Amino acid sequence: MRHRRGQRRLRRDRGSAHPDLRVRRLRGAPVAAQAPLPPRTGWSRARVAAEVRYLSTSVQRRLRGRDLALIAAGLTFYAGIAVVPLLLVAVRLTGWLTGPDRVSELSDGLTDVLPAQLGAPAVVRDLVDAGLTMDVVGLLLALIPLSFYGEGLRRALLRFSHRRDTMTGWRGRLLGLPVALATPLLLYPLLLAADGMASLSAQPGAGAAVGRFALGYYSVLVVLTVPLAWGYRVVAAGRMRWPALVSGALFTAACLSGFLQGFVLFLSLPLDLGAPFGGLTPVGAAVAIALWLFLLHLVLLGGWLVTQALDDRLAEGRAAAALSPPAAPAGPRGAARPGGSPPG
């Protein structure tokens, strides 16, 4: 009787999916293959390949049954509502912190860095002027559409988690507002970096070009790491371990910074954005910005999946280390070890 109960329990356990998803497998459906844990040996090429295969399998398992492009498109919709109010609030708060004249001076360096083919410098200049002239009432009103991005981010990231959430929209909006209030600490370093890039662009030589690229890339990487870590940990209620969170936020910020460099390169191309839309250039520009936002959110969601996979790897590695028997301590020199032959 006990043997039959044990067999039924074993079949019931095999019928469940990955424990992180906490859902039961349908009867007759194949069990999802799970990559074995890489061996706990020194770092070598074989172990690095095994770790990469493990993380890749974990990401693919989380993507099963979910449309990544559709989720990224939904998050892009929320970003389209919030991106302009977020920039206006960031400019206004930075102006209160450092002074409007200082922000206007540093924004001139940013307009010098951006290519002028598609009119990006004029757009940035108008955006800075509108943000610096915003009053308190306008600032408070801008927080309403700005908060929608927190809702969209929480909804999107929870699609890849087993957590059951209530009041998702309000939780996401409220938890995302601290990042908006901290934007002066993020925007001001970017303006300083843009001013330095403008100074380097005036210098000839390959060294100045490399320094300009490195300054822009790493400044964006550092600035994006903080809001990404906040979004993964707080807005999405990730509750993951700090090593996985920091590593995943840095990895995602590095990828996003590279894509933003690609966006700047896109702005330098002599394109007629209105050609596919009957000559309506504003429509073509809006579509191009939406497309780049969509690509950036694909990267953001991919970074979230990698961060979750890394957190699972750390948890399973610790569990395996706790279950493995400890090594027998070596006896003193010349003394007999347990199970060994006595010394001659």
What distance in Å separates the CA atoms of residue 329 and residue 137, rounded to the nearest whole number?
A: 71
| Domain membership flag for residue 51 | no
What distance in Å separates the CA atoms of residue 256 and residue 264, rounded to the nearest whole number?
A: 13
74 within 8 A of 162, measured Cβ to Cβ? no
What distance in Å separates the CA atoms of residue 29 and residue 16, rounded to the nearest whole number?
A: 11
What distance in Å separates the CA atoms of residue 107 and residue 119, rounded to the nearest whole number?
A: 15
128 within 8 A of 94, measured Cβ to Cβ? no
Q: Give me the domain span that covers residue 215.
A: 67-319
- Sequential pLDDT tens for the chain (344 residues): 555 555 555 454 444 333 343 333 333 333 344 556 666 666 777 778 888 888 888 889 988 889 999 999 999 999 999 999 999 999 999 999 999 999 999 998 888 888 887 788 888 999 999 999 999 999 999 999 999 999 999 999 999 887 788 888 899 999 999 998 899 989 999 999 998 988 888 788 888 889 989 999 999 999 999 999 999 999 987 778 889 999 999 999 999 999 998 888 888 888 888 899 988 988 998 999 999 999 999 999 999 999 999 988 888 777 766 666 655 555 555 454 555 445 54
| Domain membership flag for residue 57 | no
| Domain membership flag for residue 290 | yes
pTM of the model as a whole: 0.79
Q: How many domains does the chain have?
A: 1
Contacts of 337 (CB under 8 A, 6+ apart): 328, 330, 331
| Domain membership flag for residue 17 | no
| Domain membership flag for residue 212 | yes
| Domain membership flag for residue 46 | no
| Domain membership flag for residue 198 | yes
| Domain membership flag for residue 100 | yes
